[in-house]
Structure 1
């Protein structure tokens, strides 16, 4: 950092930058999981009217495995619940980090406006 900045302010700025990166990373994670949720919802909608005993194929990694509609609905429902939980946890983490970020931003502005270095 600059020679005229105090070590405390320098630490705050580094922490601020770190929190900014964490927020960006969490936003990307949330977006990726929400896209997965959309895919699951589309799949569930496609099979909702089909008879439970009818056969279908579902993806497990790179494999397609024969299954029944009933089993597939259960698996997709479980995945949907997992992704819902992931989004909630990630959003909660994001909000916590955002509060810290905003607090640091305020502290840094005050320090810079008061001429602290």
Structure 2
């Protein structure tokens, strides 16, 4: 079907496909960030329930390194803050991509309708 379309319409379709790919990538990144955020919030809540004198370890690459309560709490708070900003940024990016997609889709529809008025003319089907 794309072979019958004018080159401008084919370009718009390719742009729509690219935007759709981008939207899927952003959605996957957002989902991953939201999952990490929820895990970090749960860890922070769990940490709040523990005694601050408790011996703790944190993961550094493949190692577990001893840490104290304050350092662990501060690191988790920073991670939560960072992930909240990341999720918010990805939500805004998702909205921008969706707006671009909708605008481009409207342009393509208008382009196809203007070029596709065809043999029916202004009188509509069936003629006069």
Please report the TM-score for the alignment, with normalisation by the length of structure 1. Answer: 0.90
Match of 1:113 in 2: 113
Alignment of 1:1-117 (within 5 A): 2-114=2-114, 115=116
Shift in Å, 1:70: 1.1
Within 2, Cα distance between the matches of 1:98 and 1:2?
23
Contact 1:56 1:68 in 2 (8 A): yes
Q: Distance in 2 between matches of 1:43 and 1:2?
A: 52
Shift of residue 49, structure 1, vs aligned partner = 2.6
Higher radius of gyration, 1 or 2 = 2
Unmatched segments (≥5 aa) in structure 1:
none
Q: Structure 2: give runs of 5+ residues left out of the alignment.
A: 118-128
Conserved? CA contact 1:57–1:67, under 8 Å: yes
Q: Give how far 1:4 is off.
A: 1.9
Contact 1:33-1:83 within 8 A present in 2 as well: yes
TM-score by length of 2: 0.82
After the TM superposition, which segments of 4 or more aligned residues of structure 1 sit over 6 Å from their partners? none
Structure 1 residue matching 2:2: 3-state secondary structure: coil
Aligned-pair Cα RMSD in Å: 1.6
Aligned length: 116
In structure 2, what is the Cα distance between the partners aligned to 1:6 and 1:94? Answer: 30
Contact 1:53/1:70 (<8 A) preserved: no
